[in-house]
Structures are given as structure tokens and as C-alpha cells.
Structure 1
Amino acid sequence: MTRTALYTGSFDPVTNGHLDVLRQACSVADTIVVAIGVHSSKAPIFRAEERAEMLREVCGPELQARGVNLEVVTFSDLAVDAARRQGASLIIRGLRDGTDFDYEIQMASMNAAMAPEVQTVFFPASPPVRPITATLVRQIAAMGGDVSAFVPGLVAERLKAKFTRP
């Protein structure tokens, strides 16, 4: 039996923390669908197409090396609806700290009430990536800081290009 998992987020940009969660999720799924949330109220640094391209380039080889298929989609509705569309029986979530846990357990409970056939699986962030957030990475990059310790090399290059002032 093949298992499909859905991993949602903005991925603006994809970080080493996201990669850490994806690596761990390979232990429970044969296919992982990374679902980029697209919401009109947010103004991302990278367009959804750019984020999808980075995810494929950075995460594709990682998952392929572990025998797991990667798909990348966008969604603008409920995660459980996206999971159903993709045939996913699992929603993958990463946890950095207790604050994440409190929020994510509430979301998991609501999702379970709406879609009992979709189970949420939590993976704790590995210690080296625990403090990384896409928000902090964006702030550091916007101020000209070096984000190479927090994101894959390709992403660091694209951030630098995005924030290089002519």
C-alpha cells in the first residue's frame, strides 16, 4: 500500500528546517506532496512558481535518494481539502518548540474533526535547525545578512539576488 503525505506551508523561502521535516517524513510516506499556500492577504518575496521551482530543485534529489516521490502543488483552501484532492492520508507538520506544538495540536484537532480519514503526523525539528523560520530568514536577507547557514545554497543565491540593490 502506498502512502501519500501532504506538507503545507508558505515555503517563502524553503529553509533547512523544511528540508529537515521532509527528510523525516520520508519514513512514513512513499509520495510527499509539498503544498504551497497561496493567500491573497500575504505578499510573498517569491512568486508561487519560484517557490515551487526551488522546492523541486532542492528537495527533489533529497527525496529521490530516499526512494520517495515529490510533487509540488499550490492551494488556497483548507489543508484537509488539499489533502483529499491529492489522495493524502497524512498531513506532515514540523515542530520547533512548545508554541508550535500548542498551535499545531489545535489545527490537527480541527482537521481531524473535518477529515477523520486524514491523520496529522508531527516531526520535531532537529536541534541545528530548531531556531530557523522563513520569516527570520527573509528579514536577515532583506537587511543584507548572510543566510547561508539557514537555507540551501540555491535558495541563498536567489535571496541574495532578490535583495541586491542596484
Structure 2
Amino acid sequence: MKKNASFIIMDSALAKSLYDTLKTLELKSKYSHELLQGLEDLMEGEVATLMLGMVGPGENLVHVVDDGIYAGALEIHPKSRKVLHGGIEVNLTPKEFDILYFLAKNKGAVFTKEQIYQAVWEEDYLMADSNIMAFIRKLRKKIEPDPDAPEYVLTIWGIGYKFTDRI
């Protein structure tokens, strides 16, 4: 079975050695500059993680390093404000995206409707329980394989909602 990802820890000595070695080679890849820049950013503390992706025949690599959130078949990309499910883009309204992103970046944490409202709308809570519930319902219809048995946005009865920490 092919793994989706592999995480390898690298210390500063290895990063420096790899950087120095790559710098001396005459690499013919059009991506070598990006790799060197990524290693430089890693060594300077500009980034904490460097993600590498392989380009196959006929494929284009477009900014492999991103700040996406990945949970099962769901991908959330805050910079481009895109959500993909199984590789297919899901069209969300701005508030649906904001709610999903807020919950996902706080994976496993339970939030009341009031907390979600204040985080997403950035204003005082005005008894908008049904408003939040409606947004969650619409969001689930778009991202959940079975909205009646959600996998991603879970209801914590009597409290509120959370983004799953099981995937």
C-alpha cells in the first residue's frame, strides 16, 4: 500500500549539509532553486516544516509548500480559500469557509455557537443559535459524505461543535 505522506525530521546540521551539497551541484531541474530557497528558509527559522512533492510525467507542480489542513479526503487551503473533497473543489460561501477553517485549525477543540459566532463574525453574539446551526447544516451538506452522520464537523450535544480529531 502506498503511503500518502512521510514525515522526516531533519536537524540543522543535516539541512546545512544538504543545502551546501545541492548548492555545489549543477542541477538541471527547474525546481532546484525552490528547494534551495526552502532549505534556506528552514535553516533561518522562516518556516518550521518543508514539504516536498514529486512531479510525475505531464504534471505541473504549483507551490507544493502550503498551509493547507488535511483531514481524510478533505483539504482546506486558507490562502486560496479553497476546499477540496476527494480532489474536487467544494464551493463554499465566505462564512461557510470561515466557520470550517476556524474549526479545522482548532481540530478537536469544542466551541459553543457563541464562540464560533464571535470568531467568525468578529462581533458581539446576538442570540444567533439558529444562524450558526443553519450555516453548519449547509456546510455539512457540501463537505460531508453523509450529512446526517458527519465525519468532519461534529456536534457535541449541549455544548456546540468541533472539527474531528479522529481523521
Please give the range of the TM-score, normalised by the shorter of the 2 chains. Answer: under 0.3
Bigger relative contact order, structure 1 or 2 (CA pairs below 8 A, ≥6 apart): 1
Between structures 1 and 2, the one with greater helix share: 1
Between structures 1 and 2, the one with greater strand share: 1
